[in-house]
Structure 1
Amino acid sequence: MKAQFEKIAAPLENSFKSFIYENERFDAPWHFHPEFELTYIEKGKGIRYVGNNIQKFEEGDFVLIGTNLPHCWKNTETNVGDVKSIIFQWDENLLGADWILKSEFSEIKNLLKRASKGIKFPYNIAQRYPERLKSILKQSPFKKMISFLEFLEELSQIKEFELLCSPNFTPILNRKATNRIETVYHFVRHNYDKKIKLSDVSSLVSMSDEAFCRFFKKSFNKSFFTFINEYRINLACKMLSETNKQVSQIAYECGYESLPFFYKQFQKFMNCSPLIFKKEGAKVNA
């Protein structure tokens, strides 16, 4: 799998690109582009990567991505099947040069500035929008533009949201670095259930262990093993929510050889024990 710089061309009849993506799985690689992107997941589950953030996602995931912010959605090996998302993509000159500096668009400007770290809107808000987004897709070019601007203005008023990247995260956008990152993602995705040695990964990207650790820390503002544990705990959360497997079995299938260490990592990332997480999830789904 190769990392890509993706150039998005708006159709001639519109100033921005909007479409429904349907496929057997989310197959876009770890990539970035100079356009903003608003994505609503209507069908599909897996792991979402935005900058140095990694989280599980499912139906109702609603995220605004800033310019040149690396991202991708990936199905896990246990979640394959048809996927569907609603996507809007536009560049900074949506209404011409410097439009965003006009006072009429000050709130949208603040929204897009926050999007440089990636914005995730909560499910209770996101669930209001899929039909509205699809209705915008069907409108004539002029009405589509007006409706889209109104929608961005509405999003700018939402006070409840999550910034995905850490404050000091700065993406590394050169091709060599993104190729390395994509290689690492691919390896972890297919080997998370096994014991992973630092040398296994550093050799894949032709770096020494020490150089790889520096590279990963600089790219993600976290260590490689913190990244692995985030990935595994996200998968564990999914299995706790969707299966009746014992905690010990889930820990083993997510790559943990030590149950106490699994509990320690789960508490670190989720601020609760696996059993409490499962119990609270059961209440929500009851």
Structure 2
Amino acid sequence: MKIIEQRLPQDYDKSFIVFQERGQFFPYQWHYHPEYELVLVTQSTGRRMVGDHIGYFDKGDLVFMGPCLPHVWVNDARYMNGRAGQIANAIVIQFKPDFLGDKFLLIPEMERVRYLLGLSSRGLHIHGNARDKIALLMGQMLEMNGIQRLATLFSIFDTLVRTSDYEMLSSPGYIQHTRLDYSNRIDRVTEHIMRNFDREITLKEIASVAGMAVATFCIFFKEHYRMTFVEYINTIRIGYACKLLAESSLNIMEVAYRSGFNNLGNFNKRFRSVKRMTPTEYRKQIEVTPKTAAAL
């Protein structure tokens, strides 16, 4: 599936964008942009794709995404053909990484915000009380201007950094760079995995990168990544495979090989375990067009 880079117009006297989408909101095109984006669905149901994640949205759905993370929202057929009895509606906030200047995020008070922005590179689905509070603030922002609107955006940041009511959507293998502020040791391990996941990485090799014995490394890895090294690297490989399935016409065997799997049967097994569908089914899912969706 072809990915396009999308840009939205911004008022010259505003540092970030807040707007409301009505009707068949969101382009039915797999796309990305250099801005962070917070999307609140206020009316509609359908299917959303964020990176290699495929999920479903309903009224109140709230997702926060980092720059250049491919995504698309597709309304259910009843909203596309006018049979829903209501118009699809969403509120969207977009801001560039340097919208407050290239040094503002480096001040000590923004440390937790920097961490949050790093997490958003995989897409965050926000729920619970945090979602309710942010939804109220986003609705109010539509009628605001100037400093009031900026202050409300900071209130949203404050709510996000104080909550654990979210889940990361896209797998770590789908993104090209990790921005989480871990220790140097974890940075080295993560960078080594990201650079070499398409070949065999032994436990001895990766433990050496971390400067640990194999047994110690296994305990360390499980504590920090919440899964074993083998589970993690398979998740990354599947994430990269999803990227290839979405963005290229490579056959399944070639996708498996380029993702670090030397055995097609093992690739299919691992893919189904992570994505709950086969690679072929995944490719068919992401190739659904507005025309075919309307016919469902």
User: Could you tell me how far 1:132 is from its partner in structure 2?
Assistant: 2.1
**Residues 79 and 88, structure 2, Cα contact 8 Å, conserved in 1:** no
1:226 correspondence with 2:231? no
Provide structure 2 residue ranges, at least 5 long, that are not aligned to the other structure.
178-241, 262-269, 286-295
SS at match of 2:60: coil
Give the corresponding residue for 1:62.
62
2-11 vs 151-160, greater mean Cα deviation: 2-11
Give the corresponding residue for 2:121.
116
Provide structure 1 residue ranges, at least 5 long, that are not aligned to the other structure.
183-204, 234-253, 255-286
User: Could you tell me how far 1:126 is from its partner in structure 2?
Assistant: 1.7
User: Could you tell me how far 1:105 is from its partner in structure 2?
Assistant: 1.3
SS at match of 1:73: strand
Structure 2 CA distance for partners of 1:111 and 1:222, relative to 1, 3 Å: same
Structure 2 CA distance for partners of 1:25 and 1:138, relative to 1, 3 Å: closer
Quick one: percent identity of the two aligned structures? 24
1:214 and 1:55 map into 2 onto residues whose CA distance is 27
Give the corresponding residue for 1:34.
34
2:165 counterpart (156, 160, 181) = 160
2:155 and 2:138 map into 1 onto residues whose CA distance is 12
Aligned-partner residue type, residue 51 of structure 1: G
**Residues 42 and 60, structure 1, Cα contact 8 Å, conserved in 2:** yes
Offset from partner CA, 1:205-243 (integer Å, 9 cap, x none)? 65444335556899xx9479536667999xxxxxxxxxx
2:97 and 2:48 map into 1 onto residues whose CA distance is 24
SS at match of 1:40: strand
2:102 and 2:24 map into 1 onto residues whose CA distance is 39
- TM-score of the superposition, structure 2-length normalised? 0.60
Structure 2 CA distance for partners of 1:181 and 1:122, relative to 1, 3 Å: same
1:139 counterpart (126, 137, 144) = 144
Offset from partner CA, 1:127-169 (integer Å, 9 cap, x none)? 3333321212221212211221122122111112101112333
Aligned-partner residue type, residue 50 of structure 1: V
Residues matched between the structures, number: 206
User: Could you tell me how far 1:10 is from its partner in structure 2?
Assistant: 2.6
Offset from partner CA, 1:187-214 (integer Å, 9 cap, x none)? xxxxxxxxxxxxxxxxxx6544433555
1:11-30 pair list within 5 angstroms: 11-30=11-30
- TM-score of the superposition, structure 1-length normalised? 0.62
User: Could you tell me how far 1:84 is from its partner in structure 2?
Assistant: 0.7
Offset from partner CA, 1:84-110 (integer Å, 9 cap, x none)? 110000001121012111112112111
1:63 and 1:154 map into 2 onto residues whose CA distance is 14
SS at match of 1:127: helix
**Residues 18 and 137, structure 1, Cα contact 8 Å, conserved in 2:** yes
1:170 correspondence with 2:175? yes
Give the corresponding residue for 2:254.
211
SS at match of 2:140: helix
**Residues 5 and 32, structure 1, Cα contact 8 Å, conserved in 2:** yes
2:260 and 2:12 map into 1 onto residues whose CA distance is 42
**Residues 64 and 123, structure 2, Cα contact 8 Å, conserved in 1:** yes
Structure 2 CA distance for partners of 1:216 and 1:17, relative to 1, 3 Å: farther
SS at match of 1:133: helix
Give the corresponding residue for 1:52.
52
71-80 vs 16-25, greater mean Cα deviation: 71-80
Aligned-partner residue type, residue 210 of structure 1: M
